[in-house]
């Protein structure tokens, strides 16, 4: 299938207008947000990115490359989460429709498997992150992060492939409720880590004080058992809070040494890539970007908000790959341990529109999901798409 690329902007004035109008309020555009309205890899586990994929003994080269091999599928509506099944097929969530669709990993054929009961889409909320149980072969469970009328929550859902299409999802079994809900900054990414525990990135809903409140689940990275319970080794024994001081986390990935990385939306100045350590404070709202202030962890890399608005991230070929919404590009951050080998590189700028999710697919392969139909893009025929990438 031919990859559809967007026409190049032919005038400097048009480019300037595009840059100014591409932004949006809240998580995708980094502008000040209103207050809250209320209080994946190809590995069998379906993680957002798993160690071992693209691991290497030597640091990656300073310069990389990205090739769009093909368009796997198109005409997706508000796609958000992506997770791989053991056979290589993909599950993709529709934020605004509350449905999960199975995409054949070879042909791209789409089959809607069902609707997640209880999803209440509004603003940036709806059906967001997906993860496949590490024991999917035996338990057939899919995990979802979604917005309800009262909160954001995480539930596990039985996926019965023997039932008719559209009726294959069981009732959601909520494992964690009470994540603050807002019109914006709902977080939403979930992934099983190399420890087989479930991690979630949340947002502070525009209520900035939640990020520094350790008793709140907003503005945090959470770590829990597959049953939603606090994990032994968490900073506080009775809490799922793993790190705090975050504005809006929508990207989670682990490198080949099992270190956790997270992408975070800034407000007006700096978006961030952070290396996450348990119990640490990542600064929001006291610090945005590299502040060098005692008591706060500085990001490993930062971007102007017009160039990023980062959502999903993945690890492959020694680099973190970060999808940009407002920035409409894919960023490569080559790493030697926890330090960049070189400055981040930009690829695919303005070629496919807003980019929401990126998932490691083994070796030098990535899946990349566009996000033009989320009410903030400018959809063209065929949007939205899943692209098959080859990277170095």
Angle subtended at Cα 159 by Cα 153 and Cα 160, rounded to the nearest 5 degrees: 155
| Residue 332: C-alpha distances to residues 3, 77, 218 (Å) | 21, 27, 28
Q: pLDDT, tens digit, for every residue of 336-388?
A: 999 999 999 999 999 999 999 999 999 999 999 999 999 999 999 999 999 99
Please compute the mean of the pLDDT values over residues 241-265 and round it to a whole number: 98
Nearest to 389 by CA among 307, 311, 332, 308: 332
pLDDT at 210 over 80: yes
Question: Which pLDDT band, with edges at 50, 70 and 90, does 283 fall under?
Answer: very high
Q: What is the pLDDT of residue 38?
A: 33
Q: pLDDT, tens digit, for every residue of 137-164?
A: 999 999 999 999 999 999 999 999 999 9
Q: pLDDT, tens digit, for every residue of 165-197?
A: 999 999 999 999 999 999 999 999 999 999 999
- Both tokens of 371, joined, read 């996000």
Q: What is the pLDDT of residue 6?
A: 42
Q: pLDDT, tens digit, for every residue of 61-114?
A: 999 999 999 999 999 999 999 999 999 999 999 999 999 999 999 999 999 999
Nearest to 222 by CA among 156, 149, 278, 161: 278
Four-residue CA torsion sign, 304, 327, 344, 297 = positive
Let me know: does 28 contact 376? Beta carbons within 8 Å: yes
Peptide bond into 285 cis (omega under 30): yes
Describe the strand order of the beta sheet including 141-147 as a list of residue ranges: 127-132, 141-147, 152-158, 173-179
In sequence order, the β-bridge partners of residue 155 are: 144, 174
Cα distance between residue 20 and residue 29, in whole Å: 11
- Both tokens of 134, joined, read 């590490």
Q: What is the pLDDT of residue 107?
A: 98
Q: What is the pLDDT of residue 97?
A: 98
Q: pLDDT, tens digit, for every residue of 19-75?
A: 333 333 344 444 444 333 333 333 333 344 333 344 467 999 999 999 999 999 999
Cα distance between residue 47 and residue 42, in whole Å: 8
N-terminal to C-terminal alpha carbon distance within the chain: 22
Let me know: does 24 contact 375? Beta carbons within 8 Å: no
Cα distance between residue 321 and residue 347, in whole Å: 10
> What average pLDDT does the structure give for the chain?
89
Cα distance between residue 279 and residue 258, in whole Å: 17
Q: What is the pLDDT of residue 153?
A: 98
Task: Give the global pTM.
Answer: 0.88
Q: What is the pLDDT of residue 56?
A: 60
Contacts of 239 (CB under 8 A, 6+ apart): 214, 230
104-129 core/surface letters (b: 16 or more CB in 10 A; e: else): ebeebebebbbbbebbebebbbbbbb
- Both tokens of 284, joined, read 């929001």
Cα distance between residue 50 and residue 319, in whole Å: 13
Residue 13 backbone phi and psi in degrees, to 5:
-60, -45
Cα distance between residue 290 and residue 307, in whole Å: 17
Contacts of 118 (CB under 8 A, 6+ apart): 146, 148, 155, 172
Cα distance between residue 198 and residue 135, in whole Å: 13
């Amino acid at each position: 299938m031919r990859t559809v690329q967007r026409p190049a902007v032919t005038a400097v004035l048009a480019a300037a207008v595009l840059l100014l109008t591409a932004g949006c309020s809240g998580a995708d555009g980094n502008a000040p947000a209103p207050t809250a309205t209320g209080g994946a890899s190809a590995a069998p586990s379906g993680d957002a990115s798993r160690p071992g994929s693209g691991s290497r003994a030597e640091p990656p080269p300073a310069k990389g490359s990205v090739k769009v091999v093909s368009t796997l599928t198109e005409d997706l509506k508000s796609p958000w989460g992506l997770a791989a099944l053991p056979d290589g097929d993909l599950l993709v969530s529709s934020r605004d429709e509350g449905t999960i669709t199975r995409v054949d990993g070879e042909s791209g054929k789409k089959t809607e498997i069902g609707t997640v009961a209880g999803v209440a889409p509004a603003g940036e909320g709806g059906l967001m992150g997906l993860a496949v149980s590490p024991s999917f072969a035996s338990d057939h469970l899919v995990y979802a992060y979604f917005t309800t009328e009262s909160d954001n929550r995480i539930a596990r859902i039985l996926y019965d492939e023997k039932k008719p299409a559209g009726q294959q999802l069981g009732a959601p079994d909520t494992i964690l409720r009470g994540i603050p809900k807002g019109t914006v900054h709902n977080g939403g990414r979930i992934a099983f880590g190399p420890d087989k525990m479930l991690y979630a990135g949340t947002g502070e809903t525009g209520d900035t004080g939640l990020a520094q409140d350790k008793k709140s689940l907003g503005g945090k990275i959470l770590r829990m058992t597959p049953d939603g319970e606090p994990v032994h080794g968490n900073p506080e024994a009775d809490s799922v809070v793993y790190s705090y001081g975050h504005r809006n986390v929508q990207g989670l990935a682990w490198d080949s040494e099992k270190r956790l990385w997270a992408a975070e939306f800034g407000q007006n100045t700096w978006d961030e890539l952070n290396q996450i350590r348990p119990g640490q404070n990542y600064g929001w709202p006291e610090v945005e970007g590299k502040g060098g202030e005692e008591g706060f962890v500085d990001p490993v890399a930062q971007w102007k908000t017009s160039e990023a608005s980062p959502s999903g991230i993945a690890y492959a070929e020694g680099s973190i790959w970060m999808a940009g919404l407002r920035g409409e590009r894919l960023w490569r951050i080559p790493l030697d341990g926890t330090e960049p080998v070189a400055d981040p590189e930009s690829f695919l700028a303005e070629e496919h529109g807003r980019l929401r999710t990126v998932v490691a697919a083994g070796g030098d392969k990535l899946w990349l999901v566009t996000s033009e139909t989320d009410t903030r893009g400018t959809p063209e025929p065929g949007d939205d798409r899943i692209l098959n990438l080859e990277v170095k």
